[in-house]
Structure 1
Amino acid sequence: MKAVVLTLTSLIAFAGNSIVCRMALGSGIIDPASFTSIRLLSGAVTLVVLHYWVSYSTKKASVDDAKGSWRASLALFLYALCFSYAYLSLQTATGALILFAAVQITMLLLSALKGTKLHWTEWLGTIAAFAGFVYLVAPELATPSLKGLVLMSISGIAWGLYTLAGRGSTDPLSDTMHNFVRTMPMLLVLTMATAEVAVLSSKGVALALASGALMSGLGYAIWYQVLRQISAVQAAVVQLSVPVIAALGGVIFVGEAIDLRLMTSALIILGGILMVILGKRYALPS
């Protein structure tokens, strides 16, 4: 039950982050570089405060090797930066399809290279969940620009690598904090290179702060905690529920209409996820 709650919390954070990013970047109230810098900086500050508050209140020191890595930090930076710039030239549905396809391929391919063999129920569940996702976004798909396609593909690959880097985390909060803090030199270079074209507004900055402090910083720390309890294949597939959660959020908070396509795709995606998670346990021997 704890794993389920943590997984849902992190997925809701991902969905909220996607909505906030589109609100800020789609309306042009902040430029992609500034949004990325504020997002990662505010996430780092939040995680540092939370980490030391937890350490002080519990009198528990971090595990010595739980300090993240430069490789994970670079992946985090590339994911956030390319994601921001990609949505300048991609429609929401097209961008989501490219992003999640890149994440799926990256995580499944690397898992296979490490010797992980998928059970037939995991293959079937993965295909079903992705098919449900494609069905959800199909009406809004458009031919992507080459620039947007490349940037979003890099973003998806980077997120897949960042996710896999958290598989062996012994202290998710500490690892996530160090990963965010290590992006600071990269953000400094980015800020210096884009200062002349920066676009800032109070609303844009507020959205970037919310994205960084709440949905990225805390959400990613919880995600690293989740990764200790599920397989890489399960981690890849459950993320396909993020667009469904985002759509349901629009129904609940924005008053958008719920339609048959959303309900059908949600059932297919959730069915596929359940098959990946539980199928091998209940399937007949192959």
Structure 2
Amino acid sequence: MLLKIMIAMLAFAANSVLCRLALAGQQIDPMSFSLIRVASGAAVLFVLYRFSASKAEIEWSVKNGFFLALYIVAFSLAYLHIDAGVGALLLFGTVQLSMVGYGLRHGEKINLRRGAGLVIAILGILILLLPGASAPNLVYAAMMALSGIGWAMYSIAGKNMHNPLASTLANFVMAVPFVLLVYLVFYSQSFIKPQGVLLALLSGGLASSGAYVLWYAIVKRIDRVTASSVQLSVPCLAIIGGALFIGEPLSWRIILSAVIVLAGIGLVIWASAEKADTKEIEN
């Protein structure tokens, strides 16, 4: 399970780096990137489904397709003016709050250690957003928060899906019309260069499609609080990727924020593991 989580988190971070690399370098516009990403993801998933040993029934859901499209479109728009690591911090900070809030509302329990971990992680996000030279643009920060809500709802829906591959294929196919509609609205601003197409294909066909199938398999086996918390490792990976591949600056505020967020995650996971061990002993 740990290896699967690590692979999924690396893929999520890769999406942030690939998108920012394409948009910061003006290789493609956000909506063309989004459309190629979701269409290539659907194509790869269709091939995987056709060659899979068991042809599970495809569960079509307009709602899940909309949540995926909301995440992808807002994600691309936000990365026009937000660095890869900063954007990932905002994205998965919002995911954390949304999934935990949903979990608490639907009966999941939170003990003192888990609560402290969540507060620490949120504190890390707030430090990032404090006014200053390295603070992100609030409009694009809000756009990334909207993307986070979309991803949180998409992840929550994954707990009710029976087959990760069939469900993810259906969600990508259902997301295409939504993304296409937004693309048509912004069509006059579209431009595409070969490198931009390649980066969008890598994001959709490699870092999104397979990773989302894996993620749907993971979220069925862990609770919402833990699922939201492990994703907060993505910003730290994206910060490293942004610095290595895009040359984005590493300010002390970003580093401090990432460290605090990771500390919060560690506390939540530790408390979750301790809770699971206690249940096993009781049984």
The normalised TM-score by structure 2 is: 0.84
Corresponding residue for residue 135 of structure 2: 142
**Matches of 1:13 and 1:218, distance apart in 2:** 9
Which one-letter code corresponds to 2:24 in the other structure? G
Q: CA deviation at 1:224?
A: 0.7
How far is 1:98 from its partner?
3.2
Which whole-Å deviations, capped at 9, do the CAs of 1:151-194 have from their partners, x for residues lacking one? 22211111111111111222111111100011222233234333
3-state SS of 2:109 partner: coil
CA distance in 1, matches of 2:249, 2:145: 31
The aligned runs of 1:174-185 (5 Å cut-off) are 174-185=166-177
Q: 5+ unaligned residues in a row in structure 2: which ranges?
A: 279-283
Q: Is the 1:35–1:208 Cα contact (8 Å) retained in structure 2?
A: yes
Look up the match of 2:30. Answer: 32
State the partner residue of 1:228. 220
Within the candidate set 73, 97, 100, 1:105 is matched to 97
Q: How many Å apart are 1:231 and its aligned residue? A: 0.8
Aligned positions of 1:232-271 closer than 5 A: 232-249=224-241, 268-271=260-263
- Residue of structure 1 in register with 2:281 after alignment: none
Question: Letter of the aligned partner of 1:44 in structure 2?
Answer: A
User: Percent of counterpart pairs with the same letter?
Assistant: 36
Q: 1:49 to 1:101 in 2, by over 3 A?
A: same
> Would you say the 8 A contact 2:35–2:179 is kept in 1?
yes
Q: Is the 8 A contact 1:39 1:208 kept in 2?
A: yes
Which residue does the alignment assign to 2:143? Answer: 151
Scaled by the length of structure 1, what TM-score is found? Answer: 0.83
Task: Give the corresponding residue for 1:20.
Answer: 18
- In 2, the alpha carbon distance for the partners of 1:135 and 1:84 equals 24
Q: Determine if the alignment matches structure 1 residue 189 to structure 2 residue 164.
A: no
For 2:249 and 2:236, locate their aligned partners in 1 and report how far apart those are by CA, in whole Å: 13
CA 1:257–1:71: 2 relative to 1, 3 Å: closer
Query: Take 1:195 and 1:257, find their aligned partners in 2: how far apart are those partners?
Result: 32
CA shift at 1:195, angstroms? 3.0
Cα distance change of structure 1 residues 31 and 177 upon mapping to structure 2, 3 Å threshold: same
1:200 is paired with a residue whose SS is coil
**Aligned with residue 61 of structure 1, among 55, 58, 62:** 55
Cα 1:137/1:20, change in 2 over 3 Å: farther
Q: Which residue of 2 aligns with 1:116?
A: 108
Q: CA deviation at 1:276?
A: 1.7
The letter for the 2-side match of 1:118 is: I
Tell me the secondary structure at the aligned position of residue 160 of structure 2: coil
Is residue 276 of structure 1 aligned with residue 262 of structure 2?
Answer: no
TM-aligned CA distance change 1:247 to 1:201, over 3 Å: same
Count of residues in correspondence between the two structures: 275
Preserved CA contact (<8 Å) 2:64 2:171: yes
Between 1:203-212 and 1:161-170, the stretch displaced more is: 161-170
Tell me the amino acid that sits aligned with residue 176 of structure 2.
Answer: M
Q: For residues 68 and 105 of structure 1, do their structure 2 counterparts lie closer, same or farther at Cα, with a shift above 3 Å needed?
A: farther
Return closer, same or farther for 1:257/1:27 CA change in 2, 3 Å cut-off. Answer: closer
- Give RMSD over aligned pairs: 3.0
- Residue of 7, 27, 37 corresponding to 1:9: 7
Q: 2:105 corresponds to which letter in structure 1?
A: L
- 1:82 deviates by 1.0
Tell me which moved more, 232-241 or 114-123. Answer: 114-123
* Cα 1:202–1:106 shift into 2, 3 Å: same
- SS at structure 2 position matched to 1:182: helix
- Following superposition, the deviation at residue 108 of structure 1 comes to 1.4
Pair 172,192 (structure 1): closer, same or farther in 2 beyond 3 Å? same
Rounded Cα–Cα distance in structure 1 between residues aligned with 2:83 and 2:238? 15
- What is the identity, as a one-letter code, of the residue corresponding to 2:92? F
